[in-house]
Amino acid sequence: MLDILKSPWHWSVAGVLVGLTVPALLLLGNKHFGISANLRHACAACMPANIPFFKYDWRKERWNFFFIAGTVLGAFLVAQFLQNPNEVKVHPELAASLAEAGITDYSQLVPTQLFNFSTLFSLKGVLFLVLGGFMVGFGSRYAGGCTSGHAISGLSNLQWPSLVATIFFMVGGFISANLLVPFLLHL
């Protein structure tokens, strides 16, 4: 059984499971799938300030905390006990392109030359992690939700704002992957 869990699965399995999550949440309590709203719920629960944005009944959304806790716990369990012992496969053209920027170690979930503590305190680390994190946070707040909320829940509910947000998330991702990241890797 563990061998089945450790081996790579076809991407469609995750797609079907995520796809079934949306109607299940709607049928079980008219709940919407999304991740970024949890930060708002946590702030409203932990910092009861006189800020109008955080003045709402966050207790109705506490199921989200269990969802996030399960996501974190599942990721931890998989990383500790279900790692695939095989080498991570990277397309040869991508590997050659990344090798030009000095990225050759794919033994972890992310390239270790890019995501480590020594890089964190460099200009590249600040740009990737701090500025990138700010842009993701600002973008999800400005769009009224994150990519998972808009692209999975919003589109399945045929919401026009979610279609617009998802299009711009994708455009931003293409620009970042093809223009920004190659430039930043050569810093």
pLDDT higher than threshold 90 for residue 163: yes
Sorting pLDDT into bands at 50, 70 and 90, what band is 152?
A: confident
Mean pLDDT value across residues 121-147: 83
Amino acid 171: pLDDT: 93
Sorting pLDDT into bands at 50, 70 and 90, what band is 62?
A: confident
pLDDT higher than threshold 90 for residue 67: no
pLDDT higher than threshold 80 for residue 109: no
Whether the Cβ atoms of residue 150 and residue 162 lie closer than 8 Å to each other: yes
Segment (H or E) for 103: none
Phi/psi region, residue 31 (left: phi>0; alpha: psi -120 to 50; beta: rest), is beta
Task: Please state, in angstroms and as integers, the Cα–Cα distance from residue 7 to each residue in 11, 78, 84, 88, 105, following that order.
Answer: 12, 12, 6, 12, 21
Q: Return the half-sphere exposure (C-beta side, CA atoms, 13 A cut-off) of residue 89.
A: 4
pLDDT higher than threshold 80 for residue 75: yes
Which of the residue ranges 10-14, 83-87, 97-101, 129-133 has the most confident prediction, judged by mean pLDDT?
10-14
Q: Residues with Cβ < 8 Å from 165, sequence gap 6 or more?
A: 143, 144, 145, 150, 154
Amino acid 107: pLDDT: 77
Q: Distance between CA 107 and CA 85 in Å, rounded?
A: 10
What are the pLDDT digits (tens) for 14-53? 888 888 888 888 888 888 777 888 888 888 888 777 888 8
pLDDT higher than threshold 90 for residue 108: no
Q: What are phi and psi of 145, to 5 degrees?
A: 160, 165
Q: Distance between CA 58 and CA 63 in Å, rounded?
A: 10
Residue 62 CB neighbour total at 10 angstroms: 12
Q: Report the largest interatomic distance among the alpha carbons of the chain, rounded to a whole angstrom.
A: 54
Sorting pLDDT into bands at 50, 70 and 90, what band is 147?
A: confident
- In this prediction the pTM is 0.71
Residue with token string 């995750």: 14
Six-digit token string for 160: 């026009």
Six-digit token string for 85: 């012992």
